């Protein structure tokens, strides 16, 4: 998709990867809507990129009701939805409250699913559009003290793969970006306060040194590519782990394709 003049919605757009992606896409001529919890950072990023700021708490499902419809009424059809917002609960699961679990799972998984549900009918009617879900390599691993985050990201990656197969007869594209550790983000700072997670992050970082800016550039390059994408692993050195975990899905494709 040519991102020039494309209407791109980015959740978690106030800082970190979301803000870096907003700046990257604004530089390529995209029209932006940034969603995040109310903050000065959201207003500043929106002002810097010429975006529309939508203050919303993605951990509150009621606040998402009709959200895409309101965005499209204000700024036109959504061409690209980037589900980037996430929350990390980096501590032993036994210490987490019911509210901790709800907010993590809702922000990381239920909100992307709901926003995708809202945006997809219009994309299918226009026979164009992209849904991009920002996931994590820890969704492919069993990580101590990241039970909610890892499982929510595993669910987001699987949702992306299933949705890609639902839309395969259209020109709508679904992509999951599976990221390694990205220093310079709030989630990284929050998670690595935990010593166990810090040790894991240090090992993952050896694959490649990621920054919000180089991740944003890779995402933007992929969004501008006309080829259909399923899973994009950043950094590429993490791809073997993800590809190995996807093997049952690939085998399932053979079964389902032969059955149909």
Q: Is the distance from CB of 189 to CB of 197 less than 8 angstroms?
A: no
Q: What is the CATH number of the domain that holds 246?
A: 3.40.50.720
Residues 12, 152: Cα–Cα separation, whole Å: 16
Instruction: Name the band, by pLDDT with cuts 50, 70 and 90, for residue 258.
Output: low
Phi, psi at residue 204, to the nearest 5°? -65, -35
Q: Is residue 124 part of a domain?
A: yes
Quote the Cα angle for 33-18-57, to 5°. Answer: 65
What pLDDT was estimated at residue 228? 61
Contact of 134 with 218, CB cutoff 8 Å = no
Query: Is residue 93 scored above 70 in pLDDT?
Result: yes
- The answer to whether position 2 is within a domain reads no
Question: 48 in a domain, yes or no?
Answer: yes
Distance of CA 86 to the CA centre of its chain: 8
Mean pLDDT of 255-260: 64
Omega within 30 of 0 (cis) for the link into 235? yes
pLDDT at 164: 94
Domain contains 65: yes
User: What Cα–Cα distance (Å) separates residue 72 from each residue in 15, 57, 110, 113?
Assistant: 23, 19, 21, 18
Across residues 183-192, what is the average pLDDT? 88
Q: pLDDT digit string (tens) for 100-150?
A: 999 999 999 999 999 999 999 999 999 999 999 999 998 988 888 999 999
Give catalytic status of residue 149 as yes or no: yes
Residue whose C-alpha is closest to residue 104's, from 55, 145, 158: 145
So what's the pLDDT on residue 235?
84
Share the mean pLDDT of the chain.
92
Q: What is the pLDDT of residue 136?
A: 94
The rounded distance, in Å, linking the Cα atoms of 235 and 19 is: 19
- Which range marks the domain in which residue 53 is found? 7-259
Residue 1 in any domain: the answer is no
Q: State the catalytic residue, choosing from 108, 119, 149, 161.
A: 149
Q: What is the mean pLDDT of residues 155-174?
A: 95
pLDDT average, residue stretch 47-55: 98
Q: What per-residue confidence (pLDDT) applies to 237?
A: 78
By mean pLDDT, which of 44-48, 74-78, 246-250 is the weakest? 246-250
The pLDDT, as a whole number, for residue 146 is 92
Query: Which residue do the tokens 């692993």 mark?
Result: 233
Note whether residue 117 is domain-resident.
Answer: yes
Number of domains in the chain: 1
Q: Are 59 and 102 in contact (CB under 8 A)?
A: yes
pLDDT at 97 over 60: yes
pLDDT of residue 242: 81
User: Is position 110 within any domain?
Assistant: yes
What residues contact 31, with CB distance under 8 A and at least 6 apart?
5, 6, 7, 8, 50, 51, 75, 76
């Amino acid at each position: 998709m040519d991102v020039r003049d494309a209407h791109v919605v980015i959740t978690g757009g106030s800082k970190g990867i979301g803000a870096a992606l907003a700046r990257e896409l604004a530089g390529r001529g995209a029209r932006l809507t940034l969603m995040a919890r109310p903050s000065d950072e959201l207003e500043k990023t929106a002002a810097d990129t010429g975006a529309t700021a939508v203050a919303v708490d993605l951990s509150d499902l009621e606040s998402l009701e009709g959200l895409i419809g309101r965005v499209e009424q204000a700024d036109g059809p959504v061409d690209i939805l980037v589900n980037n917002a996430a929350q990390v609960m980096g501590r032993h699961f036994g210490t987490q409250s019911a509210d901790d679990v709800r907010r993590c799972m809702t922000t990381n998984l239920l909100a992307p699913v709901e926003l995708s549900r809202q945006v997809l009918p219009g994309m299918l009617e226009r026979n164009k559009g992209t849904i991009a879900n920002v996931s994590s390599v820890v969704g492919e691993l069993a990580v101590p003290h990241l039970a909610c985050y890892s499982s929510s990201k595993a669910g987001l990656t699987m949702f992306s793969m299933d949705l890609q197969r639902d839309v395969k007869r259209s020109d709508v594209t679904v992509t999951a970006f599976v990221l390694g550790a990205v220093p310079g983000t709030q989630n990284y700072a929050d998670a690595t306060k935990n010593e166990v997670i810090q040790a894991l992050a240090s090992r993952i970082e050896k694959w490649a040194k990621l920054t919000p800016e180089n991740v944003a550039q890779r995402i933007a390059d992929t969004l501008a590519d006309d080829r259909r994408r399923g899973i994009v692993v950043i950094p590429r050195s993490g791809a073997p782990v993800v590809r190995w975990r996807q093997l049952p899905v690939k085998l399932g494709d053979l079964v389902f394709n032969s059955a149909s």
